[in-house]
Chains A and B, each alone.
Chain A
Amino acid sequence: MLHLYRREVSIAAATAVLGLVLAIVSPGYFSLQNITDLLLANLPTLVVALGMTFVILTGEIDISIGSTFAICSVVAGLLAKAGWPIALATAAACLAGAAIGSVNGALVAYVRIPSIVVTLGVMTALREALRWSTQGAWVQDLPPAFQWLGLSQAAYPVVATTLTALMFVACAWALAQTAAGRALYAVGSNAEAARLVGLDTRAIKLGVFALLGALTGWAAVLNAVRFNQIPSNTGIGLEMKVIAAVVVGGTAITGGRGTAAGTLVGVVLLGAIGPALTFLGINAYWERAIQGAIILAAVAIDAVGRTGARRIARAAAAPV
């Protein structure tokens, strides 16, 4: 059974090695304050990455999530300022995200435009629309009822972590144990075969885009409540970070293969590395380069390992 999770285990091991080095060289990394900061900063990434895992499993991709994230943040912030309760403002952000995701999904599934093109267009259009409508102004003076989801600053990390953990378990469970999860793998691995077995491949694709949008809305709220203002450039580059985490976690960029657990370890590794550089005394400018190197390594290991794995499987299946 362990060989099925080889990728997850090896990424977790790499993260552990990184942790060990940090523990020796720079124990300050593991201060409660730093760990809490890291955790809170990466919870939204994990939420979006789980949604992205669904989309990539079906063989599609969504690079518009950074812009969606910005729109949802602004929507939640403005509504909160207008006096909406936090629950309603959050729901509105999720709905806005789901609406954008549905547009992406409809264009991909029903108009049959490649998702990279659709979401590239949507990414730019939304970012420009936001810039135009806000005139670059930040959403400032968020009400106290919005900050920390209206909780105390001590309670928030516990609540947010618990909610995200539950969400992770739900996603992992859905992928492994439900008919809907199975359908995602089928669509991503062989869309034509999936259609022949009666799966509505178009509705499934629309669904995963909408779900990713809704999760992006929730992530935007989890992120926004940590500050008392929302910068107009929020979410820029989020798509790279998220897609990187999913791919590093072993999800095939061509679809059909991957797990939620993989995405979790991918987010942890990439989330831990950036700040680690500072603690190790390496110039933070290297962060991107190192992230890029990790992604390339992950994809290369995947390509090499896959040929090997297939040979082994074939030899095992061959008559003795």
Chain B
Amino acid sequence: MEPTAAGPPLLEARTISKSFSGVHVSFDVRAGEVHALLGENGAGKSTLIKILTGAEVPDSGSLALGGQVVDHLDPTAAHRQRVAAIYQQPSLFPHLTVAENVALALERSGVWRCVDWKARRDRAARLLGEVGAAIDPGRLAGTLSMPEQQIVEIAKAVGADATVVVMDEPTASLASHEVERLFRIIARLRSQGAGVVYVSHRLQEVFAIGDRITVLRDGQLVATRDAGAVNAEEVVRMMVGRALNAAAPPHASAPGDVVLDVRHLSNRALGVRDVSLQLRAGEILGLAGLVGSGRTELAETLFGIVPATGGEVRLRGEAVRIEVPRDALRQGIAYLPEDRLHHGIVPEMAVDANVTLASLAAYSRWGLLDRAAERTSAARHAERLRIRTPDVATPVEALSGGNQQKVALARWLETKPGVLILDEPTQGVDVGAKAEIHGIIRELAVQGLACLLISSELPELLAMCDRIAVMRSGTIVSILSRSEATQETILERALGHEPAAPVAG
């Protein structure tokens, strides 16, 4: 691996700028390298990527492919030049099958061309096999889980034989073994001479596969370095412009009484079976497991999104029935869902209305809203959670991902819950905001909130949690104390080959 390979860059952006997002940078990717692109949310990564893939046209500057300046790059031209992109949010057609989705990306179009259905299916199956996923090409894309959709996107890029592959947080929804598989694919692409632009918030990943690292901040280039020449701390400092408390301090409070007591909880519809766990006041209990192991499904059962089919839930010693989310809220359970866009924020609503949405009763009297109180409260949350917004009347859709997530979190904190379930709370959130969210969660726990933290990022779980429950096949197979928990032990339990037998936590 030779990061500074000779020859012209495969794709080069020369001092391009885009005025509305304030981006002004130069960037290139060479044959046989992985060029990692880092920066906080709003630093201009997405804009740069969109320009590289032809989705947006820069206001000034130029793009060069293989040393040749291209006047105008649009998605069709990019496709022809074999520039492929994998975005953070999969963009499959939900009503078409996997095979058809792959075909649309790869086959030449022609109105009268006959479709060879078998060839389509076979190719899709072959590509999926290459990326190591057992997904039936005949399934409708809309029925796939987020990680599965992401894997299909990766298969599309592999099948396109791309010379430049741009990946925007491809691992955001992948579990660790899937990430490893992706890394093998990336390594192969690199060895075949392709150039990979890799965007991620996860520094370990960047150092694991990156040859060069470019950091953006506020639309400007901070630096481009060989990955071997910098360490994580320096990169973080470049990204945020200040130093962060790198390692999260373990939180010191002693857990209090049992708040949530789950006994033999099952949900046939969601595949959750015989889950038992106890959660104490001030405790952060991690929920680890591979994608599909039933973590989100357990959360959805506890919150009443799909009612349980068996077992018992006790809150502060009293058995409660939770059939719909309203029941859970009334009992003081709050749930920050994984899919921020679809389940979290109400995009067209202002920040203040989003914050108070789950506690409207507290902000209204005989149904009449106290707008002033709403604004005050939202402003307080915005300050405390450091939500970057011009004012609380701004629609949430105008904020960046990390800030949207903080608004969603503020909404649940506003319900003053006793139990807070957090499902991938820092997914797709930049380093600075992530550290802030971690700090907030820890502070809440110190104040006595019982937290259930679902995360696919093991370092996050290890840094945050008092105990970590590992799920597999819809049940908790192991509960690890802080001292027992390591990345290895968690993975071993999560992957385990013996039949998954439930344990009580």
Given A179-B369, A182-B357, A317 and B346 contact (CB-CB distance below 8 Å) = no
State the CA gap A257–B388 with chains docked (Å). 24
In angstroms, Cα B403 to Cα A194, docked, is 19
Assembled-state Cα–Cα distance A301/B397 (Å): 20
Does B400 count as interface, using CB distance less than 8 angstroms?
yes
B388 and A317 contact, CB distance less than 8 A: yes
Q: Could you tell me if A310 and B358 are in contact, using CB atoms closer than 8 angstroms?
A: no
A313–B347 Cα distance when bound, in Å, is: 13
Cross-chain contact A315 with B388 (CB below 8 angstroms) = no
Contact at A319–B361, with CB atoms within 8 Å?
no
Q: Interface readout for A229-257 with B: 1 if CB under 8 Å, 0 if not?
A: 00000000000000000000000100011
A315's partner among B21, B330, B357 (CB-CB below 8 A) is B21
For residue A190, which residue of chain B has the nearest CB? B346
How big is chain B's contact interface, by range? 35 or more
Interface class of chain A by DSSP: helix
- Selected from B324, B329, B346, B360, the residue in CB contact (under 8 A) with A193 is B346
**Cβ of B400 and Cβ of A317 under 8 Å apart?**
yes
Check: A128 CB closer than 8 A to any chain B CB.
Answer: no
B217 to chain A, nearest CB (A): 9
Q: A189-B346, A310-B398 are in contact. Are A197 and B389 (CB under 8 A)?
A: no
CB of B395 within 8 A of chain A?
yes
Residues from chain B with Cβ under 8 Å of A314 in the complex: 20-21, 398
> Nearest chain-A residue to B329 (Cβ)?
A198
Give every chain B residue within 8 A of A6 (Cβ-Cβ): none
**Contact A177 to B368, CB < 8 A, known contacts A185-B348, A196-B343, A318-B22:** yes
- The residue on B at minimum CB distance from A180 is B367
| Cβ-neighbour of A197 out of B22, B347, B357, B400 (below 8 A) | B357
Q: Is A289 an interface residue (CB 8 A)?
A: no
Contact of A189 among B325, B347, B367, B390 (CB under 8 A): B347
Residues of B within 8 A of A256 (CB): 346, 348-349
Q: How far is the CB of B270 from chain A (nearest CB, A)?
A: 16
A192-B342, A317-B399 known; A186 and B349 CB under 8 Å? yes
User: A residues engaging B (CB < 8 A)?
Assistant: 177-180, 182-183, 185-186, 189-190, 192-200, 252, 256-257, 310-311, 313-320
A178-B369, A190-B345, A193-B344 provided; 8 other pairs, C-beta below 8 A? A178-B367, A186-B349, A189-B347, A193-B342, A193-B343, A200-B324, A316-B398, A317-B390
Q: Can you show 5 pairs from A to B with CB atoms below 8 A apart?
A: A177-B368, A178-B369, A179-B363, A197-B357, A315-B21
B interface, CB within 8 angstroms of A:
20-22, 42, 218, 303, 305, 324-326, 329-330, 335, 337, 342-349, 353, 357-358, 360-361, 363-364, 367-369, 371, 388-390, 394-395, 397-400, 403, 411
